[in-house]
Amino acid sequence: MKHHQVALLCLLSIVGVWSGCSEGEGGEDGQAGGAGLGGIMGGEGDNSTGLPGGDGGLGGIIDDGFDNTIGDDFVACETLTTELNRVATRVMLLEDKSQSMREDNKWTLAMGAIQEMVTAYDSEISFGLDLFARPGGRSGGGNGSSCAVGESVVHDVALNNGTVITNELSQWEPGDATPLLLAMQNYTDSAYAPAFSAGGGSYLVIISDGQDSCGPEGVYDQQGGATAQELAAVTSTLRNDEGIKTIVIGFGEGADPDQLNAIAAAGGTPFTQYLSADNGDELKSALSQIAETVVVSCDFKLGTFQSDNVDYNRVVVTFDGKAIPRDDNCAKNRGWTFSDSSHTAIEFCQAACATLEDGDVSGVKVQLACSDEDVPILE
């Protein structure tokens, strides 16, 4: 069997700044990491994750009794490119624009809170904006435009997008119904917001002051539209199929706890219940809490393998020679998972992410095992 030399991805913590080194095929130790890990763990800004940490070191990542040592007899069957690039966190703000947002000055308060968030984190988070309902858009089989949603996103995500978003919000006035389910379903099609759906590090942040009043067919019903179960289902689809996590804020006393908690529980984030905001200051606080939590991304682009036909079920990731188990969809919040269906990016889950950010790792390897038995998976 022909053995390929495996790229070594190094993380060196020097005075709080992380830099990269690599050992490529045919290269030498200490060869410059180029655009790989150099600087992606540090640079300007706060390096904290904002997430609850694990048990410290690798203890919070692996199960008790789990043999996670890659021995000297381990042979990798494929080489990953030397670059492992951090994906900037993407936040799509999905703002409720229904008629009820006119009440208690909620629309103006929401615009102010969003402006404060996107201004404070403009250079660190890629922000985008979407609104529901949107007259003239896709209305399904429903009642005119009151349940319409867009056919493409209002503004796709980008860094330094704060001014664009602020100016856009000033052009709209609240009106129409609350097609929350239909607005979320748009993101099951990656063509709707291509940059946001590019894989890994994507958060859909919903601000809603009521309950869905349109249902899956876009038919307005003041007494209720989509069910909590339907909203949970589309949230799970976004997480499992598109790698999009969802966080939801209920703004005002008209928010529906059952619907919003169903979304939050399936959203794949530490915010497993919806965040309640009764006024403008509380909405600002909720958005600030979200930004502080997600600003440091633990999603990374993998680059490419040498082979055309790669069995991605055999990818192995190690920290300092210890195998970090695959933790599909971060179900146990310990290991790592593919963050998109095309396997171009991986996410380090809560405990593994905290271990990286704490500076407890000096070397990371991404390898391809020769057999399924060599791949540790959390069940």
Structural domains of the chain in order of their starting residue, each with its CATH number? 8-86+299-374 (no CATH), 90-294 (3.40.50.410)
d(CA 180, CA 273): 17
pTM of this structure:
0.74
Band of residue 58 on the pLDDT scale cut at 50, 70, 90 = low
Give me the amino acid identity at 89: T
344: left (phi > 0), else alpha (psi -120 to 50), else beta?
alpha
pLDDT tens, position by position, 138-190: 655 444 578 999 999 999 999 999 999 999 999 999 999 999 999 999 999 99
Q: Look up residue 245 and give its amino acid.
A: K
Beta bridge mates, 315: 368
More confident residue, 344 or 244: 244
Return d(Cα 13, Cα 60) in angstroms, integer.
21
Mind listing the pLDDT tens digit for each residue in 339-363?
877 788 888 988 898 888 887 788 7
**Pairwise CA distance, residues 226 & 299, whole Å:** 32
Mean pLDDT of 19-33: 30
Pick 138 or 307 by higher pLDDT: 307
Retrieve residue 71's tokens: 């021995």
| Measured distance CA(284)–CA(305) in Å, rounded | 44
Work out the mean pLDDT of the chain and round it to a whole number: 79
- pLDDT range class, residue 52, cuts 50, 70, 90: very low
Residue 338 pLDDT > 70, yes or no? Answer: yes
Question: What share of the chain in percent tops pLDDT 70?
Answer: 76
pLDDT confidence tier of residue 70, bands split at 50, 70 and 90: low
Q: What mean pLDDT do residues 300-317 have?
A: 83
Name residue 299's beta-bridge partners.
Answer: 347
Q: Is 92 helix (H, G, I), strand (E, B) or coil?
A: strand
The yes-or-no verdict on residue 136 having pLDDT over 60 is yes
255-271 pLDDT tens trace: 999 999 999 999 989 89
The answer to whether residue 86 scores a pLDDT higher than 90 is: no
